[in-house]
Amino acid sequence: MEHQPNRPRYLYQPAHNVFLLVYSEMGILGLMAFFGFLFSLLWSYARPKIFRDIYSIGPLLLALCFLGIGLFDHFPWTLQQGRLLFWGVLGYLAGIDPVQEKSPQSD
């Protein structure tokens, strides 16, 4: 803002990296908590699972794509649509069981 003081405030953009934005808003403890949450969510989904088909690996790839987009853009963190998609995908990942055991059929 010091370089062009006459610009309106709405023209300024936040950092185009979700992780830097989390750090700037919540500090180092918030960033560590965010990374811990993401790691525990992805680890609990991926560790015990054997990915046999696209239906079980698809949600993990979708979440990783959103995290990859977050490296280059701030929209998953700052816009309402981005937040809904980002947290919706993480919630979906937390709520599904990719490897459903087949129940034995009674004869």
pLDDT, averaged in runs of 10, over the chain (107 residues): 73 86 95 96 76 73 92 90 93 75 53
pLDDT of residue 53: 64
For residue 47, give both structure tokens: 């560790």
> Is 71 inside a domain boundary?
yes
> Is 88 inside a domain boundary?
yes
Q: How many CA atoms lie within 13 A of 52 on its CB side?
A: 7
> Is 27 inside a domain boundary?
yes
> Is 107 inside a domain boundary?
no
Q: How far is the C-alpha of 96 from the C-alpha of 107, rounded, in Å?
A: 29
pLDDT of residue 59: 82
> Is 84 inside a domain boundary?
yes
**H or E segment at 37?**
helix 18-46
**pTM > 0.85:** no
